[in-house]
Structure formats: structure tokens, C-alpha cells
Amino acid sequence: MNILFSHRMQKVSVLLFLAWVSFLFYAGIALFTSGFLLTRLELTNQSSCHEPPGPGPLPWGSHGKPGACWMPSRFSRVVLVLIDALRFDFAQPQQSHVPGEPPVSVPFLGKLGSLQRILESRPHHGRLYRSHVDPPTTTMQRLKALTTGSLPTFIDAGSNFASHAIVEDNLIQQLNRAGRRVVFMGDDTWRDLFPGAFSQAFFFSSFNVRDLHTVDNGILEHLYPTLDSGAWDVLIAHFLGVDHCGHKHGPHHPEMAKKLSQMDQVIQGLIERLENDTLLVVAGDHGMTTNGDHGGDSELEVSAALFLYSPTALFPGVPPEEPEVIPQVSLVPTLALLLGLPIPFGNTGEVVAEVFSGGSESFGPHSSALAHVSALHINAQQVSRFLHTYSAATQDLQVKELHRLQTLFSEASARYQRLLRDPPEAEAALGTLTAEFQQFLRGARALCIESWARFSLVRMAGGAALLAAACLLCLLASHLAVAPGFLFRPLLLIPVAWGLTWTILYAGVSATTGSKIDSVVLGAVAAGGSLLPFLWKAWVSWGSKRPLAPLLPVPRPVLILLLIRLATFFSDSFVVAEARAAPFLLGSLVLFLVAQLHWEGQLLPPKLLTRLGSSAPTAPPRHSGAHALWLGIGLLLFTRLAGLFHRCPEETPACRSSPWLSPLASMVGGRAKNLWYGACVGALVALLVVVRLWLRRYGNLKSPEPPVLFVRWGLPLMVLGTAAYWALASGAEEAPPRLRALVAGASAVLPRAVMGLAASGLMLLLWRPVTVLVKAGAATSRTRTILTPFSGPPTSQADLDYVVPQIYRHIQEEFQGRLERTKAQGPITVAAYQLGSVYSAAMVTALLLLAFPLLLLHVERVSLVFLLLFLQSFLLLHLLAAGTPVATPGPFTVLWQAVSAWVLMATQTFYSTGHQPVFSAIHWHAAFVGFPDGHGSSTWLPALLVGANTFASHLLFAVGCPLLLLWPFLCERPGPKRRQPLPGSESEARIRPEEEEEQEQEPLMEMRLRDAPNHFNAALLQLGLKYLFILGAQILACALAAFVLRRHLMVWKVFAPKFIFEAVGFIVSSVGLLLGIALVMRVDVAVSSWFKNLVLAQQR
């Protein structure tokens, strides 16, 4: 029993050791991230009418006027129509085509005709601007900018759907302090940002990107009645239909033209109802890409429309031919001064000066130009005050540049004060003052943009060092894991003790000094402390001048390929083109594997090798040469086919994304949609048939166990449910009105049913993972026990491990009728069908059960990619098994080239499923699969669904990683054997020599692993460490690239998103790896129990 307990503790130690190594990487990622993606300090200071932004008198007319603050109010009311994702060219008219070129008809052009009519018929009343948006172009960050005038930082993009209340000074708070009634209707993100700030509100769920009409129709239901009631001072309507249409169909779909036409009717209706004291603002919070996504900083994403209209004349001149480009945050100080409010304290925007030029002429002939300068002066005072306060609170701003800007402002402000005292000099000084104030405001904004990209170099270096140390640990431990006498428990207990010690020391020092305990630093201290004994042993070994060859056990060709891949992470061009580089590297590795088989004599017959001058192979080939060649060719072919499914990054405009990655609902032609639907369902059926044929080949479909019954009946039900859901999703818009409620209900029930079936199948597999058919038959005499040399049931795990191969071989012979010659009658014995694939069968079944819900989260035509994924995996596993010997009793090992190819295939599948390591390419629609009406206030469930969609390839390949160890044993072929005579009569024992040569030994296959449980556990540990090493090397390379290139032009566009996606992908992969190894160990425990029960039954 002690030995049995020891073997089980070995399994637990393997899992705990891999979990500890994963924690080391997590700590390094967290520490590096805390230094790389820092948020800026948010000041809580607030502007007030009673506290002017600076010294000196306020502009003319701001004293003693009702509603006047820093400047006299120009409007009493504002209607803000926020059309989500209103790209600038959506507001442009249908342009006449260039002579000599054919006219271009784009669905979204010319649909906002009311704007163009205003600009042409009433040029002094309206103006269209190209609003330049600061990235990231996500809705929550844009709403913060549109109300505070500040700049969001990169890390804020991660909280786009977990919005928190704004603590900075903003327009909504200023309106509330002034007693203005603010009415809101639309996107419920505003409720989280401004809780309790509205006198009346109509919120609608914003996350269902497939719903084009619910939010917009809800707004229209309340918009005009609220407008006519007059019970408001500021009316905000945030429409979402255009944004959702872009996500669902893209901007070039006819639905986009319908949505924009609807918005045009809304604008026209508002213009007809406006009173003279009301300003209409129509704005887009961001743009969208050609695919309808947003979040990055491409030209189409950062270009939004901004339209201002007043029933009274507002602008002194006619609109320019080309609309002026202004920063989006310029709207904040402009609206504040037009409404007679203080500019929010943290604003960095510059007022749109021309809207202040329509003042009264009673103050002199230069009142228009002077109003320009007065607005800019107040704006500059507010920004100067903010810079002074912010620089006093932090040390982020560059001192030299800050001093230059303050000097520029002081000189311009002094000149402005002299101008007020001596108006006759106005004409000469107004132009200079306007230029100086604009130079100061734009310089201050540029200073903030540059300074808020600040880094903590100490944390970044510490995180990178921790990642490098964890990679070194994986490299050395993977080499030592299969060494004789390797001890699992000390390797785990000592680091844990050191980690706890350093954690307690850090907590004690923090408590003594009164400093706050940083959870990130605490985790890093624990990880670094646990690594100290390992680093010390490595240093001592290196100091003793031991050979360094074990430090680099990776084969040289694989090491070169790995270094090339890691080096590409330092080039923005290669990161952008990784979707093409990954298949190339995978194909190169496949060619290397085929060449390696040739070098080892596995492709050509030994006689031909001898004729060619090569030495004959030392071992017989596992497969024929043609077989291995066809495996390599097929793998290259499937890799090329998977490459046809790709999504082009926005940095490569010449590239065209695969049309097969769009949903079937976006297709217009009915016949083409039906053909594609048939192909998608065919891919589902083919995937199921391929796996079932594989299970049938190895005999794992003959068992009456619950998992096998589920594979027979549950998986077809999952295919049927998935196909039915796709049919409803692709034709929901075409459903008759009387059936739409039924379609909506089925669209929610079917995905949940498929996911529930998958979860049930996985639970059954964990409960009864041994899929073996047991049959009863006539046995031999009791004296001919198969348990020799034991006279009773095994008393230890060692006894059980010894007799398992005997039992297994006996069962094979019994089942195949090779004991029929024995005439002695005895008690009933049993025979089991195909135990040799028991581990692989459980793994493949689990992968298939995981694949169906993950496939459900993707668009329909990705089913073809999943089919290619499984076929590629099978071919790669067979090719790797062709060059892996299994005849030895141990130790077992998985080659580095196998692990490298597996990781590359996971990367290739990530891109083939339509993903890119950028936020704008995230498939948000996955959050609504099974939840078409949204998730209410829950954020973890949509985040889980979107994450599962994004990192499906990471999860599947990590869970399936143990197949790299199991597959060579699964592919074991029968070998020659001299048949031993059974006890009995001499005539029965006589066997002719010819018969001896004809007899073959049945392969033990995966039962060889049970013959050496210590080697089995060590091989699983080594496999996990190798996998973590390659993944860790990738995240280390991304971290170093971000560290070295932190001031690179493309750091926030390319390197930062790549690091974040690699970090999250590593976390998902490490969890999946632990789950896959845990499943293999669960099967191993179940096999032990099954054999033990079999032995006891045999004894009875």
C-alpha cells in the first residue's frame, strides 16, 4: 500500500510542479504588465464658476449675466445625438466620379443627406468636422474623452465592458452642479459611467451586437415626446444601430444604408423641432474598419464625423471645401463655454474657436476675433492650471518641455491682458495671440500624450528576468525529469518553503514600514523566492565546470527554428505578417521531420541505402517509406488549405481577407447561402465520422460504458443541435413575423443544449474513462493462472504494474482465440477488447467534446477549419510517431521537434479561425451565442464566451498535448515472437519451426506505459515542461520586444497588443495543459482500478 500511495503522490507532484512553474510565469507576466501598461493618475479636482481658471479679469459680458460663468452662455439647451461608429465618410455625399474612371457606388455614401442640405442652404448655421479620435477606439474610452476632455491610456481598453464610474471632472457633473436637467436615452454604458446623474434616463443593453434595432427603436419611442415636453436642458441620445450593423454585416452591406437613412430621418426631425436657443450636436464616438470592427488606431477607426447646427447664425463664414480636422476632445471645452459652464478640470482639448465669433458688435469692430482669443485664453488658463496641478502630484511630465510651455503661456497671457487694456492695438495683436494660445494648447496635449506612455523600467526588467528564469527552469528540469533516481517531492517542497519564507518577509517589512502591500509585487517576491534554490544549484553546477551540453538539450535545427520565430517578435512587420509566417515555419519543420526520417533510414529500404553508400538503419522502420512521405505531403496540403482562411491585418491594405470567415447571415444570395450551409453541416458530420471511425478502428466503440454510449448517441445530437442553430442564425432576418419569437427562443435554447450535452459528456468521461469491452468465456485450468509468480491478488502497486502486461497479453490471446487448443475446462474468465488505446481514446473523445461548444462560438464556415485542424493533428501525430521508438522499457520522451510543431499548429489555427492579436479583431458576437438578449449585469459570462472564442486553438492543442506522448505507442506494430508452449501434454507443446516464424507478438501499445509508472509520470512532467518552455520563450520574446521598443512608433498598435494576447494565450494554454495531463492521470488511475478488480475476480 505504501508503494501504491507513492505512485499516486507522484501524479499529484507532477501536477503541482507544473502548476508551480505556471505560477512563475504568471508572476513574471503580472510584474512586467504592471510596469508596461500603467494608467495615468486621475485627479479629482473640479472646476467651479467661483474659482476662475487663472488670474485676470474674465471676458467681456461674463459679469452679472444670468447663467454666465467663465464666459456668457450662448445656448440654453443642447441636443447631443451620438451615433456609435459614425465614420467620417458616412456623412459625406455621393461624390461625382473622377473623369476617366468608372463611378464607385458605396452603400453608405450620401445617406445622411440632411447634413449636406444644411451645409448648402444654410452655411452660417451648420458645420461638418472630421473628428480625430485618440486610440483606443472603444466606446467607453470615447465616452470618457467626450465628457472629460482627457486622454485614456492603453490599459483602459481592457475595461470596455466593465465600465466604472468616472471620478474626474466632466460635463455631466458640471451640468448637475449648475442645476441643468440632463435626460439620457440609449447605450447603458452611460449608467455605469454616470450613476444617478440623469434626471430621466432610458437605458438599453448595448452588448448584443447582432441586434440592430432594439436600442434605436427604444430611443425613437421616447425621443420626440421628451423633446416636445420641454422638461430638459440637455438631451443625449446614443444610437447603436450603425455600430452593430458594422459588427454584424460590415459597412458595405445594404443594411448599413438602411441604418444611415434611419439616422438621417432622426436628424431631420430634430432640426425641424429645434428652438433658437438650442444647439444640435451630431457626433460619432469612433469609426470602423472595412470589416466593421474598431478598437485600434487605423485611419478609418480614428476618423469620426462631428456636425454642429444652430437655428440662429453661428459661424461667420461658409464651410470650407474640405472639412477641418479637429481633435475629438475639442468638443468638451467648446460645449462647456457655449453653455456657460466651467471647463472640466482635466480637459486637454482646444476649443473650436470659430463658434465664438458670432457675438454682439457692441463691444467694438474686432469683437469676433476678440471672442476667438478670449475663448482660447480661458481654455489655455484651464490647461495651464491642470498641468501645474498634475506635475505637482506626479513626476510624469517632462520638466524641460513643461517649463517651455509655461513660459509661452505666461508671455501670451501678459500680451492678452495688455490687449484688454488697450483695445486699439487689437488688430495687430489678435492674430499673434491666437497662434500663441493654439501653440500652447497643442503643445500641452502632445506633452500629455507622450508622458502618459510612462513605464516602470524596474518592474519591466524584473518581470522579464522572472520569465527568463522560469524558462531556464523548464529547460533544465525537462532534461532532469527522465534521469534515473529523479525525485519529485523535494523538487517541489523546497521551492514552496522558500517562496513562503520570502512572502512572509515581504509582508513583515511592509507592515513595519506602514507601506501598502502590492499584490503584484507580493506574487513576484513569492515566485522569485521559490526560484532561489534552483538558481543557486544552477550556479554551483556551472561553477563546477560541468559540461554545458545538458543546458541546451534542444536539437540544433529546432533551436534555430525557434530562435528565428522569437526574433520575428522584435519586428512589427513580422508580427503583422505572423499569419503567413507561422504556416511557413510549420511547413519547414514538417520537411525537417521527413528529412530526419530519411537520415535515420526510415524512408528507403535498407538494401537501397546500402547501395547509395549510407549505413543501414539500426532498427526496423516503423512505417513504410511511402507511408511517411504521404503523411508529410498530406500535412503540407492541409496546412496550405487552412491558410486560405485568413483575416488581413489593417496594416496591409493590399491584402484581402478570406470571405469565408463572415457569417452566413451576411450573404445576400439564397442559393450560395444554402450551398455553404450544406458544406458547413457536411464538415460537422465528417468531423464526427472521422473520430468515430478512429475509435472503431481501435475497438473503443464496443464498450457499454456511459462515455461510449454518449459518443454513439450524444455526439450526433450535438451535431444536429449545432446544424439547427446555424440554420436559425443564418436565416433569422428572413423568418416570418409570426415565427420570430419561436426562432429567437430556439436560438437561445439550442446552443445551451449543445453546451450542456458537451458538459455532460465530459463529466461521464471523467467518471468512467476506461472504454473497454469485457467478455466472458471458457478459461483454462485454475493451475494455469496468468498471475505467476504471485499466488494471490497483488498487494502493492509494484505487483500490479508487473502483472498488468501479462494480463493484457493474456486478454489479447484469449480474445483472438489463441487458447482454443487448450482442452482443460476451468472457471469462467474474461477478455477485454483493445486496452492498448485506452488513454488516447479518452483524450480524443474529450477533445471532440470540447471542440463542439468552441465551434459553436465561431461563425459557421469555421467548421471547415476545425475539420482541417483534426486532420492536420492526426497526420502530424502519425508523422511524429514514425520516428519515435517505443520498444524500450523506459525512459519515455517526447522529441523537441514534436512539441515545437504542436505549438506552431496552435498558432496557425488561431489565425485560420479569423483571429488577429489586436483588439479590433475580437469576435464580440460570441458573447451572445445562447444569450441573444444579453447577460444583464453579468460581465464574467460574456468575457468567458469571448475568451473561449478567441483562444479556442490554444485550449484544444494544450489539452491534446499528451497525445504527443501517447501516439507513438498507439501506432506500435506487431513484432515477431517465438511461441512458448503452454503447460499440458507433450503433443500440445510441440510446435513446428515453420509455425514459430509465422507467429507474431501482439503489441502492448499504450500498456507499455503502465509497465514503468515512474517513467510514465516523468514523461508527462517532461512533456509539460517542454510545452511551457516554448510558450514561455514566446511570451519572454514579446516582453523583451515591448521593453526594448517601448518608444517605437508601433508599440501601442503592434507590440503591446501582441504581448497581451500572448500573455492571455499562455494562461489559457497552461490551464489546458494541466487539464490534459490530469485527464491522462485520471484514466491511469481508472485503469489501475479496473485491473485490480479484474485480478480479484480472476482469483475468485
pLDDT for 44 equals 83
Instruction: Please tell me whether residue 101 adopts helix, strand or coil conformation.
Output: coil
Nearest to 806 by CA among 1000, 1007, 951, 605: 1007
Banded model confidence at residue 234, pLDDT cuts 50, 70, 90: very high
> Sheet of 126-132: strands edge to edge?
200-204, 182-187, 234-239, 77-83, 278-283, 303-309, 126-132, 325-327
Banded model confidence at residue 776, pLDDT cuts 50, 70, 90: low
Please tell me which of 84-88, 152-156, 772-776 the model is most confident about, judged by mean pLDDT: 84-88
| pTM of the shown model | 0.76
DSSP state at residue 185: E
Main-chain phi, psi angles of 238, to 5 degrees:
-110, 100
Query: pLDDT tens across 1018-1028, in order?
Result: 899 999 999 99
pLDDT for 390 equals 87
Cis ω before 789 (30° cut-off from 0): yes
pLDDT of 823 higher than 50: no
Query: pLDDT tens across 50-69, in order?
Result: 888 877 666 554 444 544 68
pLDDT for 225 equals 93
Average pLDDT, the chain: 80
Q: Which three cell numbers stand for residue 585?
A: 515555419
Q: How far apart are CA 560 and CA 566, in angstroms?
A: 10
Main-chain phi, psi angles of 1069, to 5 degrees:
-65, -40
Query: pLDDT tens across 238-296, in order?
Result: 999 999 888 888 888 888 999 999 999 999 999 999 999 999 999 999 898 887 877 77
Nearest to 281 by CA among 79, 479, 85: 79
> To 10 degrees, the CA torsion angle through 821, 827, 832, 836?
-70
Contact 1048, 572 (CB under 8 A): yes
Contact 71, 378 (CB under 8 A): yes
Please tell me which of 375-389, 823-837, 987-1001 the model is most confident about, judged by mean pLDDT: 375-389
Q: Which three cell numbers stand for residue 970?
A: 498507439
Nearest to 15 by CA among 1094, 890, 1044, 962: 962
Cβ-Cβ contacts under 8 Å for 836 (sequence gap 6 or more)? 698, 808, 969, 970, 972, 1003, 1004, 1005, 1006, 1007
Q: 283-313: b or e for each residue (b if 16 or more CB lie within 10 Å)?
A: bbbbbbbbbbbbbbbbebbbbbbbbbbbeee
Residue with cell 440662429: 312
Q: Which three cell numbers stand for residue 140?
A: 467607453
Q: Which three cell numbers stand for residue 1056?
A: 503591446
Instruction: Please tell me whether residue 236 adopts helix, strand or coil conformation.
Output: strand
Average pLDDT over residues 441-465: 84
pLDDT of 708 higher than 70: yes
Q: Which three cell numbers stand for residue 811?
A: 486478454
Average pLDDT over residues 190-207: 87
Helical pair 2-36 and 519-543, crossing angle rounded to 10 deg: 110
Helices H / strands E in the chain, number of each: 36, 12
Q: How far apart are CA 954 and CA 908, in angstroms?
A: 10
Q: Which residue has the higher pLDDT, 967 or 161?
A: 967
Angle at 355 between CA 352 and CA 360, to 5 degrees: 140
Helical pair 2-36 and 1013-1044, crossing angle rounded to 10 deg: 0
Query: pLDDT tens across 852-891, in order?
Result: 999 999 999 999 999 999 999 999 998 888 777 665 666 7
Main-chain phi, psi angles of 25, to 5 degrees:
-65, -40
DSSP line for 273-342: H--TTEEEEEE-S----TTS--SS--TTTSEEEEEEE-SS---SSPPPSSPPEEEGGGHHHHHHHHTT-P
pLDDT of 99 higher than 60: no
Burial class (CB in 10 A: 0-12, 13-18, 19+), 320: exposed
Helical pair 399-421 and 367-393, crossing angle rounded to 10 deg: 150
Cis ω before 891 (30° cut-off from 0): yes
Contact 161, 139 (CB under 8 A): no
Where does residue 61 fall: left (phi above 0), alpha (psi -120 to 50 degrees), or beta otherwise? left
Instruction: Please tell me whether residue 834 adopts helix, strand or coil conformation.
Output: coil
Banded model confidence at residue 980, pLDDT cuts 50, 70, 90: very low
